[in-house]
A and B are shown apart, each in its own frame.
Chain A
Amino acid sequence: MSPRLPGRRLFLKQSAALAGLAVGASGTALPAAVEPPMEKVDELHLYGQRSHFVDAVRRGSINNPERRLPDEPRAFGLTTPLQDSTGMITPASLHYVISHGYEPRDIDPKEHRLLIHGMVDRPMTLSVEELQRLPSVSRFHFIECHGNSTTGGPGGAARVSPEGTAQDTHGYTSCSQWTGVKLSLLLEQAGVQKSGTWIVAEGADDYKHAKSIPMGKAMDDALVAYAQNGEPVRPEQGFPLRLVVPGWQGICNVKWLHRINVVDEPYMGMMEISRYPRLMPDGKSRWFEFELGPKSVITRPSGGHHLPAPGFYEITGLAWSGGGAIRRVEVSTDGGRSWKDAVLQDPIARKAHTRFTIPWNWDGEEAMLMSRSTDDKGVVQPSLIEVAKIWGTDVDFFKKSTLITSDFNAIQPWRLNRDGSVKNAIF
């Protein structure tokens, strides 16, 4: 465990403190509960643990796994085990994490303030407790790294390998129920001036990550979230406050949010000018791409699974789009020659993972399993050939590129072999 992250006991105490704040805010003072004799309560039961027989975990692609010096930065990515997922919610403990070389901070919520300033009539600071008193919303939203499913760059080798699992190919996306305050409410309270056309959202991490977001999106559906899946946002997800920018590249969802500066143009952050623009084969870069396109992946059966014998199997997976709700998912078992509509499981939320299922009897012959999603804008997930066409290149480019092929949302094929093994068949 990182020395900067306190143990579970401290986390529990902080959660309890937060819960206390929420109660206090409603104005009802409750009598102090009678403390149970702590020595008799197994700590295991205070914060639930999963079965020892369950072993799904995040996996890391760490670019510097063995530190040569104690304080050496480690840029690491932790992927969600999608091949073991059910439903549409990702447990917070399995939510993907990308660290740009810094360890997550665990910030005391009592000390934390959100500053809103710049082109506003009433610059203000808000405490976490004050934010929790404001009208709240709870919404299902996925967060996906723009480099998810990349064929090049870190993690690219596992993504293109026949042995690649759904975690390797698509694990940089996760879906949570986020609870917080609409950013539009806060901006209206601060009195955004007409000239304020962009915001710069900044985190309290060690490199003060800053992201520019157009005012239209900030006023539309962005949230300042303090809770995730029914508990405070976890430190590695931005405790105590995370900006959630639904359907837009993960980098927009600023963790440890402490400042919103209202400005009149994009302010270039290091990430926005160096790592996140999409360098195209012509040498020009597309910057400030925001919305993630329609995407889907079959999670069962998927890479690394083994079907013991012919017979009945439900094919199931996840579909999502930054453009809105998923309207349709089609599944093919013959490599795209024929498609059938899958059933979409409730809840079908805007800019959220949507679980799809389709019943299937495997006859024991080789099969190529694919899924294709359509969002409620009518936009259809592209094939690899179509993606190459949009990029103005050929499929070979994606095999050879050393770059993060960002916003890569091509249809994912899994080859089911006669021996029951399932392999990644992207190329």
Chain B
Amino acid sequence: MRFSKLLTAGVALVASAVAAQTQMPAYKGIGAPATKQEIQAKDISISPEGKGLPPGSGSSKEGAEIFAEKCMVCHGPNAEGGKIGPALVSGKDAHESLTTMKPERSLGAYWPYATMVWDYIHRAMPRNQGGTLTPNEVYALTAFILFKNGIIQEGDVLDAKTLPKVQMPNRNGFVPARFADIPDEHKRGCTQGICP
């Protein structure tokens, strides 16, 4: 009896080892380790607090020159919007418009993070030439657009430290406010597919 119990236990042990192996097979020869250089070349992610922002800096005045050269043709001389590109400057009462039936969801009035202005210019602008601007140019253009929206001063210099500190008017306009609460649909009170 005792022997057979031992045997059973032994078989169970072997079986669980086999199960563990089948759960996690080694996919031999599939995938290559990514090198630091490979990752650096592709990683353009910027977190809302500015994690990932590269060294460099720029001011609105520098940005105005780059804007005239590379952006104006689409977005208009004063970033008011042109034939191709949307307006990047919000009207005076744009933020107040968010509670009306004709809300203006523009960059200055709506976007919650200044870091995302940097992120989008860097990844996507100029159109079909995303990634061609240097970090200095992106900081300068970000400064120019934020200045045009009355969010920073003309003389302010933006870099990896100052940019994340820029307060956007609609920073507190989003629900849920805490990132940790986002995935929890119960906590958010989502019902019938809609989160109130």
Contact = CB atoms under 8 A, between A and B. Distances in A.
Contacts of B127: 71, 73, 206
B42 interface: yes
B69 interface: no
Nearest to B129: A206
B193 A294 contact: yes
B180 to A, nearest CB: 9
Contact of B99 (A130, A207, A208, A283): A283
Given A115-B38, A285-B175, A409-B193, A130 B31 contact: yes
A355 to B, nearest CB: 20
Given A125-B38, A267-B46, A292 B116 contact: no
The B interface, classified by DSSP as helix, strand, loop or mixed, is loop
Interface residues of B, number: 52
Given A208-B124, A268-B116, A270-B120, A386 B173 contact: no
Contact of A284 (B34, B46, B174, B190): B174
Interface stretch (A36-44, A271-279, A298-306): A271-279
A283 B192 contact: no
Interface string A111-125: 000011100001111
Given A268-B116, A284-B174, A122 B194 contact: no
Given A115-B38, A117-B43, A207 B194 contact: no
Interface in B106-140: 107, 110-113, 115-116, 119-120, 123-124, 127-128, 130
B33 A387 contact: no
How big is the A interface, by class? Answer: 35 or more
A407 to B, nearest CB: 5
A207 B101 contact: no
Interface string A404-427: 000101000000000000000000
B30 A126 contact: yes
Contacts of B10: none
Nearest to A214: B183
Interface stretch (A48-56, A83-91, A361-369, A395-403): A395-403
Contacts of B123: 207-208, 210
A268 B110 CA distance: 13
B1 interface: no
A1 interface: no
B176 to A, nearest CB: 8
A360 interface: no
A390 B30 contact: no
B179 A273 contact: no
Contacts of B27: 133-134, 189
A115 B124 contact: no
A123 B39 contact: yes
A379 interface: yes
A50 to B, nearest CB: 34
A286 B33 contact: no
Interface in A67-100: 68-69, 71-73
Given A270-B116, A291-B190, A390-B192, A208 B130 contact: yes
Interface of A: 68-69, 71-73, 115-117, 122-126, 130, 133-134, 188-189, 200, 202, 206-208, 210, 214, 216-217, 258-259, 261, 263, 265-270, 273-275, 277-279, 281-295, 321-323, 379-382, 386-387, 390-392, 400-403, 407, 409
23 contacts: A69-B83, A117-B39, A124-B32, A126-B30, A126-B32, A130-B30, A133-B30, A134-B30, A207-B124, A207-B130, A214-B183, A216-B183, A265-B48, A267-B47, A268-B48, A268-B112, A270-B124, A294-B193, A379-B193, A380-B192, A390-B191, A402-B102, A403-B103
